[in-house]
Amino acid sequence: MGLCDGRIVIVTGAGRGIGREHALMLAHEGAKVVVNDVGANTDGSGGDLSPAQQVVAEIEGFGGEAVANGDSVSSWEGAQRLINTAIDTFGDLHGLVNNAGILRDRVLINMTEEEWDGVIDVHLKGTFATSRWAAAYWREQTKAGKTVDARIINTTSVSGIYGNPGQTNYGAAKAGIAAFTIIAAMELSRYGVTVNAIGPVALTRMTEGLGPAPETEEEREMRSPRWIAPIITWLASSESKDVTGRVFEASGQMLAIAEGWHRGPRVAPVDDPKELGPVVAELLAKARPNAGMDGEDGTWPQPRRA
């Protein structure tokens, strides 16, 4: 018996890297998988369905069931076709893993409108578009009297929730996805849908240029994308039905829950701006510093790292 026997799950960006590991483990645990990937380069250019088809072939090779889909998640109509692929092929939908992404890193002062829009479209709009069509399907199922036990699992990043220089576009999209996750969890619980997110850290095509290469086999293994798949697979299963609105961090070093914004030190309101200097200084002295990329209190900002 697999953890996800009978579950039908879409994984976006599943042709390579982290998404590929998600798709393979879900299939090993009994899920029928829609392997979505446009086959683009890391900056979003180009397209090739063969990576998705290769993952499907791997799944079928060990007796699993999968189908390839090449629609772009940033397309409204493409996102709808993707959701329909699962329903038309396998007869239902139980999980959506929003993993697709691109990078167009640039410091703010040099960033172009195209570099901003491209990253926001794939990450943030892509998460919204697929989730919206999936949620509409599950709402109709609920209205028809069917019991829904469904999952949306989004992909945020430590670059978004903690911050990373050179990634205002990517970080803003990923921080938006974390907020989207929390709010969508509130809205969709009435339909039997949970919504969670993961912030993965792994060595893939998208991250290999963001920091020093691993020097040992042990370091390479700790940064393998395979460490992200277990929490995704568990969240996609029926076992996770009581967990929603949370952001997990996952890597070969840890599994953690990222705690969101909380109100810190406070004082009574001040109506004279000339009196605010010492008041703000006192608040800052009592407040925790912003976390660095390691998620811990410390010197901020920290140097860029993978």
Amino acid found at 278: P
The answer to whether the beta carbons of residues 69 and 32 sit under 8 Å apart is: no
Q: Which pLDDT value is given to residue 306?
A: 33
- Whether residue 3 is contained in a domain is answered as no
DSSP 214: P
Residues annotated as catalytic are: 170
End-to-end CA distance of the chain, in Å?
A: 37
For residue 9, list its beta bridge partners. 33, 95
pTM tops 0.85, yes or no:
yes
For 209-257, the pLDDT digits (tens) are: 555 666 677 776 677 889 999 999 999 999 999 999 999 999 998 999 9
Relative to beta strand 255-258, strand 247-250 is: antiparallel
Q: Are residues 287 and 230 in the same domain?
A: no
The CA distance from 223 to 147, in Å, is: 39
- The boundaries of the domain holding residue 277 are 265-306
For 116-146, the pLDDT digits (tens) are: 999 999 999 999 999 999 999 999 999 999 9
Q: Are residues 210 and 290 in the same domain?
A: no
Q: Are residues 275 and 226 in the same domain?
A: no
In the chain, the number of structural domains is 2
